[in-house]
Amino acid sequence: MNVNVGGFLGLIILILDIWAIINIVQSGASNGAKVLWILLVLLLPVIGLIIWFLAGPRGSRA
């Protein structure tokens, strides 16, 4: 059985990027900061996701 690992990893990264963008939009950060974080995640999908995970704004749970 031939498994396309690259396609699967790409799908996982896409799902995680969408999840990160949703969390950025729901965060309490300023609109300018939200735009910058979203651009970072979109332009650098893997690195941007890692940076957001370590230092980015989180969604509000209130």
Model confidence pLDDT, tens digit, residues 5-62: 788 898 999 999 999 999 999 999 999 999 999 999 999 999 999 999 999 887 665 4
- Asked whether residue 20 is domain-assigned, the answer is yes
CB atoms within 10 A of CB 17: 19
Number of separate domains in the chain: 1
Q: Is the pLDDT of residue 3 over 60?
A: yes
- Asked whether residue 12 is domain-assigned, the answer is yes
9: enclosing H helix or E strand = helix 5-26
- Asked whether residue 62 is domain-assigned, the answer is no
pLDDT, position 56:
87
**Which residues span the domain enclosing 20?**
5-55
Record the pTM: 0.83
- Asked whether residue 31 is domain-assigned, the answer is yes
- Asked whether residue 9 is domain-assigned, the answer is yes
Structure tokens at 15: 């799902």
- Asked whether residue 10 is domain-assigned, the answer is yes
- Asked whether residue 61 is domain-assigned, the answer is no
